[in-house]
Every structure is written in structure tokens, then in C-alpha cells.
């Protein structure tokens, strides 16, 4: 119904239905906030920044990738204290490596160096190093990260650092190989062969770390590359379980349980771990007895 009918005599057209709230509706529509677009998922490079360094060996200036402080959200840890973060494997980014002379180290031990250490690095690393001419990277692949850690391990041995530092580098290489192993496909024979090689290297470096930390515990004084005695013993106990060295694992967790310096939260973990060790050791001894071997004591 045309409620304004009759205005034609005044020359005013009045076609259509009357709606006195029409202008208010338009204003409201304009004022309504636009729908926010869904946030883009973060990529690995979003967690990283470039930081410039000066090499203490050759004075070259270069940039390396580091994880932005507070950006990566920690979501837990694995049995041997390997940290896990959301969206990024932060372990890949804990080495600073000079692309000119080959000197490399984990972030907190990159410098300072003594004059003698600089001399050793120049003679035993820099003299034969061939620079990597790849373009600037926005992230590191597992292979690239592992190469950097291996350079750090070589430099650590040349610098004659403490055993605990060398063991920690080996541990981190094994962590990276373990993560890489989990991501590798198993489609072809070539895939399986490549995956087998990665696992073999992971086990090799893990064994080096285990033996290195075990010796460091008796030869060095805490902290062990930033770890206190309880943290190191708990980690070694878990590594011992991995290698089915249940006697060592049981000895370590028992000491942690009875120590007044062990935090209650760690004691709870050790009590649970002790149950697993005892059960696993019983199975191991039963299998040894069945095979005619002497059970462990």
C-alpha cells in the first residue's frame, strides 16, 4: 500500500512502500564492523629473526637465524628432556656458524675464545674449510641444521672444551636426527635406505652423548653445560633405559628419590620411572635365564 498516495498533485512521486527507518538501517549497516579475516597460519620463518655476528676467529661479519624470544610456545618435552615447541623445532637454531672460516659453536659458547683457541681453530678448521655459497636462508632444514652442529662439534673438539659440552652437541644432533626420522617417508626402497641411515646416525650420536655425559658426571663439577646434577642424572637415567642399561638407570633414579635436594615433582617422576625400570629389568633377566645367560645384578 502506498501510504503517501495523494502527493502527486504536488508533483511529488510516492511510489513504493513507506519505510521511515530506511536511513537508520543504512547508517547501521555502514557502522557494522567488517568481519575479520581468518589469521594466516604461522610458518617456521615467522618465529625467526636474523642477527649479525662478528667471527672471533676471522673477523668476518655474517648473519644467522635465531628464534625470537618468547615467540615459540613450549608444549612439552620428550623422555630425555628434548623440548618441543608449537610450530617450530627450536633445536635447529642453537648454533652460530661462521660461513667464511667454518668456526661454529652453540649460542652461549660462541665467544669469547682464548688466543690459543683461535690459533687452533685457524689451523685445524679454517685452513681447510670451503665456504658454503648457498643463498641466504629463511629457515634451516634438518640437514642444514645438523651440518652446523657437526661443525660446532669439530670446533668444540679443537677448542678442547669440557666433555659435557661435546656430549650436549652430540645429544642435540641425535635429537634432530630423531625428528627427521619421524618425518621421512617409507614409499620406496630408497626411502627406507635413507631412513635407515638417518636412524643409524641418530643412534651413533645418542650413544656418544650417553657415554660422554656418564663420564662427565664423574669428572666434572656442576653445572654440566648449564644443567645441575639432578637434571643430568634424570636425563642419563632415561637414556640408560633407552639402551636397556637398567642397572645404571635404577641406580640413578634411586639416588634421586632419596636425595633431599631433589624437587618433589622430580621425585614423583622418578618413582614412576623406577616402576618401569624394575618391570623391564625383570623381563630382561627372565629372557636371559631362558637363553641360558647369567641375569644382571
| C-alpha span between 276 and 270 (Å, rounded) | 10
Single residue among 188, 206, 227 that ends a domain in this structure: 227
29 is a domain residue: no
Query: CB under 8 Å to 178, separation ≥6 — which residues?
Result: 82, 202
Q: What residue has cell string 689451523?
A: 123
205 is a domain residue: yes
Single residue among 227, 254, 283 that ends a domain in this structure: 227
**pLDDT tens string 16-55:** 676 667 776 666 666 666 667 777 788 999 999 999 999 9
- 48-54 and 61-67: which strand pairing? antiparallel
Q: What's residue 240's pLDDT?
A: 97
Q: What's residue 16's pLDDT?
A: 66
Considering the domain architecture, whether residues 178 and 290 belong to the same structural domain is answered as no
Considering the domain architecture, whether residues 159 and 102 belong to the same structural domain is answered as yes
**pLDDT tens string 61-107:** 999 999 999 889 999 999 999 999 999 999 999 999 999 999 999 99
Considering the domain architecture, whether residues 202 and 281 belong to the same structural domain is answered as no
59 is a domain residue: yes
Beta-ladder partners of 227: 224
32 is a domain residue: no
Considering the domain architecture, whether residues 66 and 193 belong to the same structural domain is answered as yes
Considering the domain architecture, whether residues 100 and 209 belong to the same structural domain is answered as yes
**Under 8 Å between Cβ of 97 and 121:** no
Considering the domain architecture, whether residues 194 and 108 belong to the same structural domain is answered as yes
135 is a domain residue: yes
**pLDDT tens string 144-191:** 999 999 999 999 999 999 999 999 999 999 999 999 999 999 999 999
**pLDDT tens string 206-232:** 999 999 999 999 999 999 999 999 999
18 is a domain residue: no
Single residue among 180, 198, 227 that ends a domain in this structure: 227
Considering the domain architecture, whether residues 128 and 55 belong to the same structural domain is answered as yes
Considering the domain architecture, whether residues 271 and 155 belong to the same structural domain is answered as no
| Chain mean pLDDT for the chain | 91
Considering the domain architecture, whether residues 291 and 160 belong to the same structural domain is answered as no
Q: What residue has cell string 621421512?
A: 184
Average pLDDT of the segment spanning 118-137? 89
Q: What are phi and psi of 87, to 5 degrees?
A: 85, -10
Q: What's residue 297's pLDDT?
A: 54
12 is a domain residue: no
Domain count, the chain: 2
Beta-ladder partners of 62: 53
HSE, side-chain direction, 13 A CA sphere, residue 134: 8
Considering the domain architecture, whether residues 60 and 197 belong to the same structural domain is answered as yes
Considering the domain architecture, whether residues 281 and 192 belong to the same structural domain is answered as no
Considering the domain architecture, whether residues 80 and 210 belong to the same structural domain is answered as yes
| C-alpha span between 62 and 56 (Å, rounded) | 12
190 is a domain residue: yes
* The 3-state secondary structure of the chain, one letter per residue: CCCCCCHHHHCCCCCCCCCCCHHHHHHHHHHCCCCCCCCCCCCHHHHEEEEEEECCCCCCEEEEEEECCCCCCEEEECCCCCEEECCECHHHHCEEECCCCCCEEEHHHCCCCCHHHHHHHHHHHHCCCCCCCCCCCCCCCHHHHHHHHHHHHHHHHHHCCCHHHHHHHHHHHHHHHHHHHHHCCCCCHHHHHHHHHHHHHHHHHHHHHHHHHHHHHHHCCCCECCECHHHHHHHHHHHHHHCCCHHHHHHHHHHHHHCCCCCHHHHHHHHHHHHHHHHHHHHHHHHHHHCCCCCCC
Domain of residue 182: give its range: 44-227
Amino acid at each position: 500500500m502506498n501510504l503517501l498516495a495523494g502527493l502527486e498533485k504536488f508533483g511529488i512521486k510516492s511510489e513504493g512502500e513507506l519505510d521511515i527507518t530506511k536511513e537508520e538501517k543504512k547508517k547501521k549497516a555502514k557502522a557494522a564492523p567488517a568481519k575479520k579475516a581468518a589469521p594466516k597460519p604461522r610458518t617456521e620463518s615467522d618465529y625467526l629473526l636474523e642477527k649479525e655476528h662478528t667471527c672471533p676467529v676471522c673477523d668476518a661479519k655474517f648473519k644467522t637465524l635465531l628464534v625470537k624470544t618468547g615467540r615459540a610456545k613450549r608444549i612439552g618435552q620428550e623422555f630425555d628432556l628434548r623440548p618441543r615447541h608449537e610450530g617450530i623445532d627450536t633445536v635447529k637454531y642453537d648454533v652460530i656458524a661462521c660461513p667464511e672460516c667454518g668456526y661454529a659453536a652453540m649460542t652461549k659458547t660462541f665467544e669469547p675464545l682464548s688466543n690459543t683457541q683461535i690459533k687452533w681453530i685457524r689451523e685445524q678448521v679454517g685452513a681447510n674449510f670451503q665456504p658454503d655459497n648457498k643463498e641466504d636462508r629463511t629457515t634451516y632444514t634438518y640437514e642444514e641444521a645438523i651440518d652446523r652442529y657437526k661443525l660446532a662439534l669439530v670446533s668444540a673438539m679443537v677448542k678442547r672444551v669440557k666433555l659435557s659440552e661435546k656430549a650436549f652437541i652430540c645429544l642435540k644432533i641425535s635429537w634432530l636426527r630423531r625428528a627427521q626420522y619421524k618425518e621421512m617417508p617409507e614409499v620406496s626402497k630408497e626411502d627406507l635406505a635413507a631412513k635407515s641411515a638417518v636412524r643409524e646416525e641418530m643412534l651413533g650420536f645418542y650413544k656418544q652423548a650417553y657415554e660422554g655425559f656418564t663420564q662427565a658426571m664423574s669428572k666434572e663439577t656442576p653445572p654440566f653445560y648449564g644443567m645441575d646434577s639432578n637434571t643430568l642424572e634424570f636425563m642419563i637415567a632415561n637414556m640408560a633405559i633407552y639402551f636397556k642399561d637398567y642397572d645404571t638407570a635404577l641406580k640413578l633414579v634411586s639416588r634421586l628419590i632419596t636425595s633431599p635436594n631433589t624437587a618433589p615433582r622430580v621425585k614423583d617422576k622418578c618413582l614412576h620411572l623406577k616402576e618401569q625400570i624394575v618391570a623391564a629389568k625383570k623381563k630382561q633377566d627372565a629372557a636371559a635365564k631362558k637363553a641360558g645367560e647369567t641375569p644382571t645384578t
